[in-house]
């Protein structure tokens, strides 16, 4: 079965952003997508090593460690844009 139009679009978007180094503002986006679609993101991220590497490097920055481990960082919930969609999550 060929990939859906949405899957092809997601692949295109990830290919685009993985070519642009230093886009730390997308770390929250990647974390949100991992929360909303954990199975799909686990399958998709290995295809985009530069994007995965950027996400890991930004999260490892010493100046972010206090924030990432604090109560100031709002957790994802099912009342947020990045709610978990099990019916849409497929590897």
pLDDT average, residue stretch 42-58 = 86
Residue 34 DSSP class: H
pLDDT average, residue stretch 69-90 = 82
Is 41 in contact with 34 (CB distance < 8 Å)?
A: yes
Is 35 in contact with 82 (CB distance < 8 Å)?
A: yes
Is 62 in contact with 11 (CB distance < 8 Å)?
A: no
Is 38 in contact with 89 (CB distance < 8 Å)?
A: yes
Specify the residue for token string 């924030």: 67
More confident residue, 6 or 35: 35
Q: Give residue 24's pLDDT.
A: 47
How do residues 3-31 score in pLDDT, each as one tens digit?
666 555 556 566 665 555 554 466 778 88
pLDDT band at 43 (very low <50, low <70, confident <90, very high): very high
């Amino acid at each position: 079965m060929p990939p859906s139009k949405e899957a092809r679009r997601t692949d295109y978007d990830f290919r685009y952003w993985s070519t642009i180094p230093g886009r730390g503002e997308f770390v929250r986006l990647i974390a949100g997508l991992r929360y909303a679609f954990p199975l799909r993101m686990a399958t998709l991220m290995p295809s985009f090593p530069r994007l995965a590497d950027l996400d890991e490097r930004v999260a490892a920055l010493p100046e972010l460690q206090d924030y990432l481990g604090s109560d100031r960082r709002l957790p994802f919930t099912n009342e947020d844009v990045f709610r978990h969609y099990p019916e849409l999550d497929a590897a």
